[in-house]
Amino acid sequence: MRQDVLRRNNPYNDDKVIAACSIFGAMDRSGKRMSAHDTVRAIANMHERSNGLGGGFAGYGIYPEHADRYALHVMYLAPGAREELECRLARDFDIALAEPIPTRSGAKVWNQPELWRYFVLPVADNGLSPDDYMMGHVMRINSTLEDAFIFSSGKNMGVFKGVGYPEAVADFFRLDEYQGYIWVAHGRFPTNTPGWWGGAHPFNLLDWTVVHNGEISSYDTNRRFLEMYGYSCTMMTDTEVVAYAVDLLMRRHGLPIELVKEVLAPRFWQEIDREHGPLADAKRVLRQVYSELLLNGPFTVIIAHNGEMIGLTDRIRLRPLTAATRGEMLYLSSEESAIRLVSPQLDRAWIPDGGEPVVGRLGSTEPVAAQPVVSARKT
């Protein structure tokens, strides 16, 4: 590139686009399943927020014929890796079906690995819950098998991700053939971490998925805390700690998102000190007990699991998030334009307060926020 053009387009010689990455989520709170078509259109509308080094989707309700089994999506990066992993799976799980993940040739993705899926149930009863048993296997496999990674491990859901723009990843995985009641999507613009298949979003454990725009500068502190509880970070991307923190706090420790946000994006100490009563006491305890899970840095995340979709930003909202509803539909997006592309007429659109979650649940009539949201408007 000519130097005068480079100087004009990048006058400060800044090699990072720190506000990029796109996220989008759509949920039908009635549980009605829908195609991924609108989600693909919405994330493609934010094409300029990504650079082709990662795109991905998660769908919920997509495997009703195997709804009671864990659906393992696996990527193999080298010949021979599949044989070793399948030996482990055959020893520890009842496998109802093992097959290549359907893909479409000609899609514009790069360096695709061998991709398989397995529908399994644990065969051993060692005192662990099935979810804890599965979690332990995912951690061991991803940290001990060099060329095999389980990148999706929930029931009746699946993650589809890779290196390419998100619309190309959707084409590659033939998402037009799936139906789900929640779809989340991500377009990646990596700044500090490599662009590879495992590092694309969403990040998953069991049925928890996370897509993220921002930067987790507390990654090392978060990672060390999670390692005490048996989690291993192997995907070389800071967002991975968010998925594991959510699993620890919400599934294993039983905290609702209204309290989890006081761990991940808590109020400043001076704000908490001005409060009184049981809730203020709970905020102090949570911030002390889980201080190493506080997420430093700018972030917006969409968290999903079976029956629920959540949007959350850092406490001073350094990354964008727009929420909107239309009938039973709840939308979360980096940009309102992506929502209006797929749903031009909305009942409501708003920008949530920093650190305050927007929660969509199956059967709910309104998205739940821990505190009133601002900038709400009828459209």
Q: Which residues contact 272 (CB under 8 A, 6 or more apart)?
A: 266, 280, 283, 284, 287
Q: Residue 376, Cβ neighbours under 10 Å: how many?
A: 13
Q: CB-side exposure of 100: number of CA atoms within 13 Å?
A: 8
Q: How far apart are the first and last CA of the chain?
A: 45
Which of 5, 9, 15, 21 is the catalytic position? Answer: 21
Q: Dig out the tokens for 323 from the structure.
A: 């929420």
3's tokens: 């130097």
DSSP alpha helices (H): ranges in the chain?
A: 3-9, 37-44, 81-92, 130-144, 166-172, 219-227, 240-246, 257-264, 269-273, 278-289, 336-342
- Residue whose structure tokens are 């959350």: 312
Per-residue DSSP letter, 355: T
21 labelled catalytic: yes
Judge contact between 261 and 352, C-beta under 8 A. Answer: no
- The CA distance from 165 to 187, in Å, is 7
Active site residues: 21
